[in-house]
Amino acid sequence: MRNRLIAGAACAALALSVAAGCGRDADEGAQTAKEVGAGKASGEITVWAMGTEGEKLAEFAKGFTADNPQAKVTVTAVPWDAAGQKLTSAIAAKQTPDVSMIGTTMQGGLAKTGALDVTPTDLFAKDTFFPGAWDTTVVDGTSYGVPWYVETRGIYYRTDLAAKAGFPAGPKTWDELTAMAKALQATAGAKWGINLQPGKTGSWQSVLPFGWSNGAELTKDGKYTFDTPQLAEAVGYYQSFFTQKLAPANLPQGALEPAFIRGEIGAFMSGPWHVGILNEQGGKGFAGKYSVAPMPAEKSSTSFIGGSNLAVFKDAKNRDAAWKFLAWLSKPDVQVRWYQTVSDLPAVQSAWTDSALTADPILKVFGEQLKSAKAPPAYPTWDQIAAVFDTEMEKVCVGGEDPAAALKRIQSQADSIGTGV
């Protein structure tokens, strides 16, 4: 009995003390950048980087130490799996490094925690980078980091089958894409003209480029705008591939590449990494049988831009040196060398004039596309809204729902969830 009373009192005390310190303050307002200043970098710079980048960066960073002998770059490789969880937990426990690589869609949420340092204006200029990539670092008007590498989407297609179908140069417009898909099935023996992701996680990366190509804007005056006629038209166009049986609604995972290699699927939408997969799986000679076309144009040819950014943490122990390291990584020649090390496409525009990137025709297509590619808004709630979007897209593609009605539902959810800014 006494034990229960004591326990109860303890709980009440805890609750009261927590309540006393609680409550939101008014918004801090826009943050300003602090300058970094000239001179060489010194001290240890701790960096977190994911995947292959994490593996290769330590060796690559020796170039920076050659230029700045007093500085040392320590890289900790972090798995992509659960990387977001690792970053948010580190922020919660104040265990952040100086620098971290951050996926473009994670930027909004992390910036809003206040854990990221504002990009110094004396070291970085906005127009050095692709506009879409720079926009992924901007939250509420302020930039919190710099783009590192980018990726975008295009239409992979079988050149031999497309030639048979009467489209030797690939599809250029929306009408041509539909016609090519039909012709691939009718005359070139493909089972499916094209593969498009039918909803589910990440499908927004396939659908939104069509929306942007039709002039749709996702935000206006600081709010989400999904319920627009341009986006509805684009979703309707996307849906038409499923209703006309040009795209499979239920392709099993892992079946895409073998089917493309066998000629059962004539085309699909994806990014630069698929080149490696196709060449691996297709074997010798397959590289000559396919190519990549830019997003087919309606009002414009606009694709999605993704990739990763680099950010410095507010609690960084070696802030100035960290930013200098990022400035070094953003130099055009360093970006080219990084591409040659891990095949990451440079985020810096002038790097693309280098011969390493101009020689390959598929790379040229991606490079052109990057100039105008767009990214979703860097709002903290984007992940959640994207999930709603994906669920509705599944209903549209697989269940045949009306696109305008689906977009209305997405809009109402987006309104209630808000932008989080």
Partner 1 sequence: MTAIATAGAHRAGRTAQAGAKRWRRAVTGWSFAAPFTVLFLVFLALPVVASLVMSVTDMRATDLRTPFAVDFVGLGNYQRLFGDDLFLRAALNTVVFVAAGVPLTIVAALAAANALNSGLIRFRALFRVGFYLPVVTSIVAIAVVWRFLLDPEAGLVDDLLARVGVDGPNWLGDTRTSLASITVMAAWRNFGSLMVIFLAALQGIPANLYEAATIDGAGRWQQFRRVTLPLMRPALLFGAVITGIGYLQLFEEPLVMTQGGPLSSTLSVSYHIYNQFGFGNYGYAAAASYVLFVAIVALSVLQFRLLGTRDD
Partner 2 sequence: MTRDRAAKAALYLVLCAGLLVVVGPFLWMALSSLKPEGEIRAVPPTWWPDTWTFANYRDLFARLDFPQYFTNSAIVAVLVTVGNLLFCSLLGYALAKLDFPGRKALFLAVLGMLMVPGMVTFVPQFVLISNLGLANTYAGLVLPFLAGPFGVFLMRQFLQSIPDDLLEAARVDGAGEWRIFWRIVLPLCRPALATLGILTFLASWNNFLWPLVVATTDDKYTLPVALALYSIGQNRIYFGLLLAGAVVVVVPVLIVFLALQRHFLRGIATTGLK
Residues that bind partner 1 (CB under 8 A): 11, 14-15, 18-19, 21-25, 84-85, 88, 91-92, 94, 109, 112-115, 200-201, 250, 252-254, 380-381, 383-384, 387, 391, 394-395, 398-399, 420
Shortest Å, Cβ 252 to partner 2: 7
d(CA 151, CA 347): 9
* Closest CB to partner 1 among residues 365, 388: 388
Q: H or E segment at 301?
A: none
Would you state the structure tokens that stand for residue 126, as one six-digit string? 């906005």
Q: Which option in partner 2, partner 1, none does residue 95 bind, with CB closer than 5 to 8 A by kind? A: partner 2
Choose the contact partner of 25 out of partner 1, partner 2, none; CB within 5 to 8 A by kind. Answer: partner 1
Task: State the nearest-atom distance from the C-beta of 75 to partner 1, in Å.
Answer: 24
Q: Which residue, 44 or 415, is less far from partner 2 as judged by CB? A: 44
Report the distance separating Cα 323 and Cα 45, nearest Å.
10
**178's tokens:** 């539909």
- Token pair, residue 295, equals 């997003």
Q: How far apart are CA 27 and CA 115, in angstroms?
A: 15
Give the integer Cα–Cα distance in Å for 359 and 258.
28
If one counts every other C-beta atom within 10 angstroms of the C-beta of residue 65, the result is 15
Return the one option of partner 2, partner 1, none that residue 74 interacts with (CB less than 5 to 8 A, by type): partner 2
Is the Cβ of residue 77 or residue 297 nearer to partner 2 in the bound state?
77
Distance of CA 163 to the CA centre of its chain: 32
Residues whose CB falls within 8 Å of the CB of residue 116, separated by 6 or more in sequence, listed in order: 110, 144, 145, 311, 312, 313, 314
Residue 193 binding target from partner 2, partner 1, none, CB below 5 to 8 Å by type: none
The one of partner 1, partner 2, none whose footprint includes residue 115, by CB under 5 to 8 A per kind, is partner 1
Region of residue 283 (phi > 0: left; psi between -120 and 50: alpha; otherwise: beta): left
CB of 149: closest distance to partner 2 in angstroms? 10
User: Out of partner 2, partner 1, none, which partner does residue 52 contact, by CB within 5 to 8 A per kind?
Assistant: partner 2
Least distance between partner 2 and beta carbon 337 (Å):
20
Q: Do residues 271 and 152 touch, judged by C-beta distance below 8 A?
A: yes
CB of 73 to partner 1, least distance (A): 26
CA pseudo-torsion sign 41, 130, 388, 225: positive
DSSP assignments along 20-78, one per residue: HT--PPPP-----PPP--SS---EEEEEEEEHHHHHHHHHHTHHHHHH-TTEEEEEEEE
Q: Which residues bind partner 2 (CB under 8 A)?
A: 3, 50-52, 54-55, 74, 76-82, 85-86, 88-90, 92-95, 97, 103, 151, 252, 254-255, 257-259, 271, 273, 277, 280-283, 308
Rounded Cα–Cα distance for residues 253 and 255 (Å): 5
| Residue closer to partner 2 (CB basis): 133 or 183 | 133
Nearer to partner 2, 84 or 236 (CB): 84
CB-based contact 402:236 (threshold 8 Å): no
Q: Which is nearer to partner 1, 50 or 363 (CB)?
A: 50
Which of the choices partner 2, partner 1, none does residue 398 contact, using the CB cut-off of 5 to 8 A by kind? partner 1
Q: Pick between residue 254 and residue 361 the one whose CB is nearest to partner 1.
A: 254
Q: How far is the CB of 416 from partner 1 (least distance, A)?
A: 10
Binding partner of residue 280 among partner 1, partner 2, none, CB cut-off 5 to 8 Å per kind? partner 2
> Could you tell me the smallest distance in angstroms from the CB atom of residue 145 to partner 2?
17
CB distance 206 to 270 below 8 Å: no
Bridge partners of 150?
Answer: 307, 345
Q: From partner 1, partner 2, none, which one binds at residue 383 (CB under 5 to 8 Å depending on kind)?
A: partner 1
Q: How far is the CB of 303 from partner 1 (least distance, A)?
A: 24
Which one, 167 or 204, has the nearer CB to partner 1? 204
Shortest gap between Cβ of 286 and partner 2 (angstroms)?
10
Of the two residues 237 and 379, which places its CB atom closer to partner 1 in the complex?
379
Of 261 and 356, CB closest to partner 2: 261
**How many other C-beta atoms lie within 10 A of the C-beta of residue 373?**
26
Instruction: Report how far residue 370's alpha carbon sits from residue 345's, in angstroms, rounded to the nearest whole number.
Output: 10
Which neighbouring-strand residues pair with 198?
Answer: none
